[in-house]
Amino acid sequence: MDQILILDFGSQYTQLIARRLRSLRIYCEILPFRTPVEEILARGPKGIILSGGPSSVCDKGAPVSDPAILSLGIPVLGICYGMQLIAREMGGKVQKALKREYGHSGLKVRGVSALFRGVPKDLKVWMSHGDEVKAAPYGFSVTAGTPDVPVAAMECADRGLYSVQFHPEVHHTCHGGKILDNFARRICGYRERWTPASFLDEAVAGIKKQVGQNSVICALSGGVDSSVAAVLVHRAIGKRLYCIFVDTGLLRFGDRERMKKVFLKKFRFNLKIVDASKIFLSRLKGVTSPERKRKIIGHAFIEVFESEAKKIKGAKFLAQGTLYPDVIESVSVKGPSAVIKSHHNVGGLPDKMGLALVEPLRFLFKDEVRELGRSLKIPEEVLMQHPFPGPGLAIRVLGDVTAERLAILGKADLIMREEIQAFGWYSRIWQSFCVLLPTKTVGVMGDERSYENVIAVRCVESVDGMTADWSQLPYELMRRISARIVSEVKGVNRIVYDITSKPPATIEWE
């Protein structure tokens, strides 16, 4: 399979380069900047992209890849830091700018360049850099400039070296996709039309080869990632896949039924549904700290899962829906970021259980997983569902988690979802949920004074959950949600809407 390799110098935009290329149906992978030349050659890439990065090439100890990469005869595109690196390696002059340039800039394309074919001569681009190229290396021609940066793009077509100071991967850059497409298809000669579905046969063959005649266990949560991973593994090894679904008692209304409908009835999985709600609820009794809740739920989950998994004799593998961003994160040049919430997932399982991992989605982004899921005939209600946190409703019942409070929240949450779906807003929102507050307020119902619970509704728009904006729901939709919850859910007399973005708030309230 043809591919483009991206060497990562730590830019916040590196993943965007990959996503942009993939959306152009060009397969690419991200590797650390230090990847040895032999490893690069062994992969036979059509082209190499050097990403941006936070460092300055003028500083001592700045990250550099093996300079031999520039003379392999494989076309190279340097972006921002990557451009400065090419300039320095090839004998050009790079200078530290007095101040960082950040934001829009007007680019003027000069002369004829394959990189800018079909792109207007004047275009808006996105800049984010400290250093800049003052003099292009010998043999290079300057192909574009901005008012502040005369050398904003340069190339030496004979040697297959191209570079741009701006970020074509960022959507603020007009025709950025065309520039990347030109690099891959015109300059590198990338010919295929990659789609996540074209990955299906290869993935199935890979799983068969890895697993042999052994069995695989999977903690199926019913979320997008574990569902697609499981269906893929099932396609490869059928009944030798054993799925376990732990009902924590902290799920949304309808989740368990959907599991049965999709995975037992439709796909005919070997699926064991374990009702462990009593264990979870008893351990959460009296616990109000969000972090304690997460720890308790995480431990209980592992315990329940392990005891079920032990009953499956001879299993040597654990299937997980790990996605590409997590894989990149673990090989990237960045250090670990501060822990805001210790997210619970099943990551701790294999170490303890001595199982090898099967991670068939480890090279895919979320939208690609959905696309693959479609070609596996997984229903839209599974693929398009909003993310749901591992600790479930326990972190949405603020304070003490009891069966009664879970039931109040569950009913309100179902009504909210029904109304959002009926209004056609579900797919416009990243996440929508209700939160039961640990406080009561006064109301009037009929002629009577009431003193009941408050439900907060939270709907956000986001690309990856890292940042988020509250959704500007139509008033009519808000009105319906509010009116139905207070009239249909006993014990609730007030609804509020959360209008905080992330940051400074987080998406969940706990």
What residues make contact with ligand XMP under the rule CB under 6 A?
A: 294, 340-341, 343-345, 387, 389-391, 431, 465, 502, 506-508
Catalytic residue among 169, 308, 368, 419: 169
Nearer to ligand XMP among residue 98 and residue 340 (C-beta)? 340
| Minimal distance, residue 199 CB to ligand XMP, in Å | 25
Concerning whether 80 is annotated as a catalytic residue, the answer is: yes
| Minimal distance, residue 345 CB to ligand XMP, in Å | 5
Closest CA relative to residue 160, chosen from 116, 117, 109, 115: 115
| Minimal distance, residue 409 CB to ligand XMP, in Å | 15
| Minimal distance, residue 352 CB to ligand XMP, in Å | 19
- The C-alpha atoms of residue 470 and residue 455 are separated, in whole angstroms, by 16
| Minimal distance, residue 464 CB to ligand XMP, in Å | 9
| Minimal distance, residue 463 CB to ligand XMP, in Å | 12
Nearer to ligand XMP among residue 264 and residue 287 (C-beta)? 287
Tokens 């000069």 found at: 110
Nearer to ligand XMP among residue 23 and residue 467 (C-beta)? 467
Nearer to ligand XMP among residue 88 and residue 294 (C-beta)? 294
Contact 51, 14 (CB under 8 A): yes
Backbone angles phi, psi at 460, to 5 degrees: -130, 155
Nearer to ligand XMP among residue 334 and residue 502 (C-beta)? 502
Contact 373, 333 (CB under 8 A): no
Contact 37, 67 (CB under 8 A): no
Q: Kindly give, in sequence order, each residue whose CB lies less than 8 Å from that of residue 14, ignoring residues fewer than 6 positions away.
A: 6, 8, 30, 51, 52, 328, 332
Q: Provide the β-strand partners of residue 436.
A: 397, 455
| Minimal distance, residue 221 CB to ligand XMP, in Å | 9
Residue 498 DSSP code: -
Q: Kindly give, in sequence order, each residue whose CB lies less than 8 Å from that of residue 319, ignoring residues fewer than 6 positions away.
A: 216, 217, 218, 229, 230, 233, 241, 357, 358, 359, 360
Tokens 């799983």 found at: 207
Concerning whether 169 is annotated as a catalytic residue, the answer is: yes
Contact 225, 362 (CB under 8 A): no
Nearer to ligand XMP among residue 148 and residue 291 (C-beta)? 291
Distances (CA, A) of 54 to 57, 59, 131, 218, 415: 10, 11, 10, 39, 46
3-state SS, one letter per residue, for 306-328: HHHHHCCCCEEEEECCCCHHHHH
Nearer to ligand XMP among residue 301 and residue 324 (C-beta)? 301
Distances (CA, A) of 95 to 130, 133, 147, 440, 502: 9, 6, 17, 62, 36
| Minimal distance, residue 50 CB to ligand XMP, in Å | 31
Nearer to ligand XMP among residue 28 and residue 296 (C-beta)? 296
Contact 54, 10 (CB under 8 A): yes
| Minimal distance, residue 470 CB to ligand XMP, in Å | 12
Concerning whether 167 is annotated as a catalytic residue, the answer is: yes
Tokens of 312: 């499956």
Tokens 């829906």 found at: 321
Catalytic residue among 28, 80, 174, 434: 80
Contact 95, 135 (CB under 8 A): no
Catalytic residue among 167, 175, 344, 386: 167
Q: How far is CA 377 from the centre of its chain?
A: 22
Nearer to ligand XMP among residue 88 and residue 344 (C-beta)? 344
Backbone angles phi, psi at 193, to 5 degrees: -120, 90
Q: Please identify every residue annotated as catalytic.
A: 80, 167, 169
